[in-house]
Structure 1
Amino acid sequence: MTLKDKKQIVGILVNPRKKEVSAPLDSLDEWISLSNPGAEFLLATYQSKYLRTDYRNLKILPVEEILARADLLVTLGGDGTILRTVQAIGDREIPILGVNLGGLGFLAETPPELLIPNLQSYLMGKYLVESRKLLNCLVVDRDERFFALNDFVFDKAGFSRVIEIITMVDGSLLNSYIADALILSTPTGSTGYSLSAGGPIVLPGTEVFIINPICPHSLTNRPVVVPDTATISIKVYTEHKEFFLFRDGYKVDSYPSGTSFELTKAPFFAKLVKVKKRSFIETLRNKLHWGEDFRNKNRWSYHNLK
């Protein structure tokens, strides 16, 4: 059975704080009226001054009901909206088509004006699904589990003193970092916080994780790349009463000194819909403006020689 044989259910999740979400939703509502694409469109319930409640063709439902029914999720926002959507999906592996209303948009690649053409391609079965690995974190002392698409960060919690982060890889001591924080990043997260902290850019399909200290009190501590088959064990000590754990930019919880963690590759993936095949190298070049010369060449004397 192809997508054209089965009525698709398309869920729409948005960043309710962005006023830019209204125009794509209005266009989508009108397109459904004119073209009858043969799919059901569900819009998540939000409290937002930028969203109408009288769409003719978008059925408004709670997020959990949409997640239980959707074949595809369309996100309107930016990379942060996709990160939050991945957390909501969990292990259901619902494919995501990200529309970029934000900044760089490494994950949300579709511009608003291509939302409808890309939806048409999806409904015709003309698309690719890219699997992105996730990082799983077990809080050993509490038997709690979390996962992240970008990264986990062990942070000193605003305290003025550094923390000690004992890090082991497959049972062997890697380092005892004295630092402000430690980032454990996936390849997807290598263009996020880890990049800002001096980490390497890693292509999404690379089978590795990145261990990257923030402000380590040592000239020799540098980011380390380990295979994604490794088990990374972390134990954090602080002179303060607690430290923080963040995942994908959001605080998970605070933990007392001496708490242990185990990080491994998650047994499920985030699925991103790609309508146009584009290499990650091309995306990097376009987003980061690599290869462009921004210098004022007139300052160099040889450009003025005739």
Structure 2
Amino acid sequence: MPERTTVTLPDGVRLHVEVSGADDAPVTVFLLHGWTLDTRTWHRQLTGLPEALGTPVRLVAYDARGHGRSDDTSRPGATLAQLGDDLAEVISAIAPTGPIVLAGHSLGGMTIMEFAHGHPRMFAQRVAGLVFISTTAEGHTHTAYGLPPRITRIIRLAETTGAGILARGGSWRVHRYLLRALAPSLRWLLFGNRCASEDLIVTTAAVARAQLTAIGAFRSSVGEQQRLTTLAALGNLPAAALVGDRDRLTPPACAESIAGALPDAELTVCPGAGHMLMLERPAIVTAALAEVVRAAQGDYLDPADLQAA
């Protein structure tokens, strides 16, 4: 069972954090969940990665502000830049030394890019590997929901209008009865050709815990983010970019541009899969994580070792 702890951020928001594995493991892996979701979406990797590696690894997963068991966010705090700052605080509190691998799904991947942009020195000193899953560095540039352009424009208008309303929802959550009614829509939007009932349950349960303000207020910075230049400046880090070819939110073009910006990134496109790759293709995601962690273990040299040399 993971150890559950809390990291209190400078603005007083408390984040729910789960840590597993030995404190002296050679690498610490941070798993960052997607928009409206929480750490439960990583449950198969949390159990599967140590077995796949066969060597000690420390795993850290936390609920972003306004999500899961973490405190609510204010509207001004619901930005990607703030999430990048939050990640820096969690790293400093939970894993202040040693190499780290950052893995992010959807909003989590964008959070990693914001951390790299806002904290370049810390990123360069600590990060030894990257895994981007069903995410984008270009906002909603490629998001078409798998629909014709005219319908996409109508849906985006409705989405942004609805986000503005939800942003004023305070600490309210989506009622469970409404979620039951929305389940078919969530299944269409988030999953590919197949969707196991237990995966839809995990996903809807996570959405039920997301604060309405977080659901709505993050929409603006998510749609506007442009971080390909940031990625291109990161150098030759071991990296992976994964996407489903039925992903309606971050289609393959998003992962292709990320892989194109990172010289050593391995691109994987999963046939028939949608946006929830950790649930839909857990073995593929776990294998990609394991490969990056192994590379990180071999490539990383602690700055203290460099100074001693």
Q: How high is the TM-score relative to the length of structure 2?
A: 0.29
Q: Higher Cα Rg: structure 1 or 2?
A: 1
Q: Which has more strand, going by share of residues? A: 1
TM-score, normalised to structure 1, is 0.30
RCO higher in structure (CA 8 A, sep ≥6):
2
